[in-house]
Amino acid sequence: MVLMGVAGCGKSSVGAALAARLGAAYLDGDDLHPSANIDKMSRGMALNDEDRWPWLTLVGQTLAKSEGPQIVGCSALKRAYRAHITQTSGETITFIHLAGTPEVIKARMNARKGHFMPAGLLTSQFAALEPPDAGENAFSVDIDRPLGAIVEAIVTQLEGVKT
């Protein structure tokens, strides 16, 4: 499965907690970015599709190679990106959109330390975001609540998907 959403929505913290809850492995998709992408974002420059496609391919390939339950944190902002990850993986991928208002997410970004993504890029992330729709294997979870409540909301949704 892929935890998706704009920078600062909690992919890393929710991913680690959800993986522990489900007995899955968690991989932060940021770790798959080439250094050129990280350098670009660190300078406050938004990535373009030319920057993203190789990274998205690597995310899909990583999911395809996983043994056992795997959770990857990846922005996957556009439908085409999610379709590419799914196609590349050759698997059925569930996308979980960690949804929050710009105000909530900006406050979270300003509070975190040591991340390469500046809060100034949040506007471009929201501009690019295409929230999942009913035609996708995806659901959204509101992040304006404590971490444990977010994880339990996801688990409840996943249990509903399996039945």
Number of domains in the chain: 1
| Average of per-residue pLDDT values in the chain | 89
Q: Is residue 17 part of a domain?
A: no
Q: Is residue 143 part of a domain?
A: yes
Structure tokens at 55: 């990274």
pLDDT value at residue 64? 94
Q: Is residue 4 part of a domain?
A: no
CATH number at residue 151: 3.40.50.300
Q: Is residue 16 part of a domain?
A: no
What's the mean pLDDT in 154-159?
95
**Per-residue 3-state assignment (H helix, E strand, C coil) for the chain:** CEEECCCCCCHHHHHHHHHHHHCCEEEEHHHHCCHHHHHHHHCCCCCCHHHHHHHHHHHHHHHHHCCCCEEEECCCCCHHHHHHHHHHHCCCCCEEEEECCHHHHHHHHHHCCCCCCCHHHHHHHHHHCCCCCCCCCEEEEECCCCHHHHHHHHHHHHHHHHC
Cα–chain center distance at 133: 16
pLDDT(30) > 70: yes
Q: Is residue 81 part of a domain?
A: yes
Domain encompassing residue 106:
22-162
CA proximity to 31, closest of 66, 62, 70: 62
Q: Is residue 98 part of a domain?
A: yes
| 74 confidence band (pLDDT: 50, 70, 90) | very high
Q: Is residue 11 part of a domain?
A: no
What's the mean pLDDT in 20-48?
86
pTM above 0.85, yes or no: yes
Lowest mean pLDDT among 33-47, 77-91, 136-150: 33-47
pLDDT value at residue 116? 52
**What span, in angstroms and rounded, lies between the C-alpha atoms of 44 and 11?**
20
What's the mean pLDDT in 15-28?
97
pLDDT(119) > 70: no
Residues 6+ apart with CB under 8 A from 38: 30, 116
Q: Is residue 113 part of a domain?
A: yes
| 163 confidence band (pLDDT: 50, 70, 90) | very low
